[in-house]
Amino acid sequence: MDNQIQLTDVIFVDNECSLKHPHMIHRHENFLELLYIAEESGRYIVGNYEYAVTAGDFVVCNANVPHGEDPFQQHCIQTYCLVLSGVKLKNLPAGHMVAENQRPVLSLGKDNFVANLLPNIYKMFHGTKNYYKVCRHLAMGIFFMLQEKISERDENLTPTKQKRERLTYRIMDYINEHYAEPLTLKKISEAVYISEVHLSHCFKKDAGLSPMQYMMQRRIGESQSKLIETSQPIQDIGEELGFARSAHFSKMFKKYVGITPKEYRNHFSERREKT
């Protein structure tokens, strides 16, 4: 199994970038992300749940599970993220490291070997010399260590299937599947069989924002990932995520993130070039 796992990317986000340009809710179809909180504290959303995270925590973000920073909280957390492909564990879907009923946050404490290891993996992965094999072996060591610690933590727990009957979760699930389509409040209400007024009221009371604002945050969050991880033209990214005009995409991106899509992509490109 471990021979199939590849280290696809290593991402570093410093305190300033996290504070000014939080990475909103997004998901990856084929990748497992292991997000390490290096400094400070904040709140992080995985699936339909929000978790308090602090320095020394790992957040396991399974493939196809929406995750990201809470847009209503001020963040200045510093993070390193290992992006892995080819993960297939026994009794779990591809790209998953934890089951749906397992807590995706694991604390290692502030003083741990990973805190010093991850900055070096990041530098070697993006450096001029080819240290990919070394980086992959180190990342695999972290992967297996987390596997073992999650198993130890949960071995005394009785598995219980989390119920997702709350209306807000049903609405989130629908938007997560269709956010790139030309969604309207009417279309969402018809899909979950309630009135538009009741839908808006319940969702905003539970989530703190309207269904259409959540849809926009999903689009922007996905665009952030594509800008960092691909060289896809910005206009194509906007169109793929449901923006009819590139000008509208740029306007909304700047409204939510604070800078334009081009500036956001350049920020991460320039940082990698310096390593």
Q: Is residue 101 part of a domain?
A: yes
Residues 59 and 139 in one domain: yes
The domain boundary, picked from 154, 181, 211, lies at: 154
Residues 128 and 220 in one domain: no
Higher pLDDT, 149 or 163: 149
Residues 98 and 185 in one domain: no
* Percent of the chain scoring above 70 in pLDDT: 91
Please report, as a single letter, which amino acid is at residue 96. H
What single string gives the DSSP state of each residue in 169-217?
A: HHHHHHHHHHTTS---HHHHHHHHTS-HHHHHHHHHHHHSS-HHHHHHH
Q: In what order do the strands lie in the sheet with 49-54?
A: 49-54, 41-46, 67-69
CATH code of the domain covering residue 125: 2.60.120.10
pLDDT surpassing 80 at residue 22? no
Residue 26 DSSP code: B
CB 66 within 8 A of CB 174: no
Neighbours of 264 (CB within 10 A): 22
**Of residues 104, 108, 87, 84, the one with CA closest to residue 96:** 87
Confidence of residue 220 (pLDDT cuts 50, 70, 90): very high
Work out how many domains the chain is built from and give that number. 2
At residue 163, the pLDDT reads 38
Q: Is residue 194 part of a domain?
A: yes
Helix (H, G, I), strand (E, B) or coil at 275: coil
The domain boundary, picked from 120, 154, 188, lies at: 154
Helix (H, G, I), strand (E, B) or coil at 46: strand
Residues 52 and 139 in one domain: yes
At residue 168, the pLDDT reads 83
Higher pLDDT, 245 or 2: 245
- Residue 42 tokens read as 């904040």
* Percent of the chain scoring above 90 in pLDDT: 53
What does the chain come to in residues? 275
At residue 73, the pLDDT reads 62
Q: Is residue 117 part of a domain?
A: yes
All residues at 6 or more sequence positions from 182 whose CB lies less than 8 Å from its CB, including other chains: 242
Residues 144 and 173 in one domain: no
72-109 per-position pLDDT tens digit: 566 678 899 999 999 999 999 999 999 987 889 999 98
pLDDT surpassing 60 at residue 1? no
At residue 155, the pLDDT reads 73
Residues 104 and 205 in one domain: no
163-212 per-position pLDDT tens digit: 334 788 889 889 989 999 999 999 999 998 889 998 998 888 877 789 99
Q: Is residue 199 part of a domain?
A: yes
Q: Which residues is 33 bridged to in the sheet?
A: 61, 83
pLDDT surpassing 80 at residue 160? no
At residue 272, the pLDDT reads 61
**Of residues 60, 52, 98, the one with CA closest to residue 77:** 52
Q: Is residue 159 part of a domain?
A: no
167-178 vs 211-229: helix crossing angle, rounded to 10: 40
The domain boundary, picked from 154, 187, 215, lies at: 154
Residues 171 and 252 in one domain: yes
Residues 130 and 248 in one domain: no
Helix (H) or strand (E) holding 43: strand 41-46
> What Å distances lie between residue 253 and 30, 175, 184, 200, 227, CA to CA?
25, 19, 20, 23, 11
Q: Is residue 108 part of a domain?
A: yes
At residue 162, the pLDDT reads 39
At residue 110, the pLDDT reads 76
Residues 124 and 255 in one domain: no
Q: Which domain holds residue 220?
A: 167-274
pLDDT surpassing 80 at residue 2? no
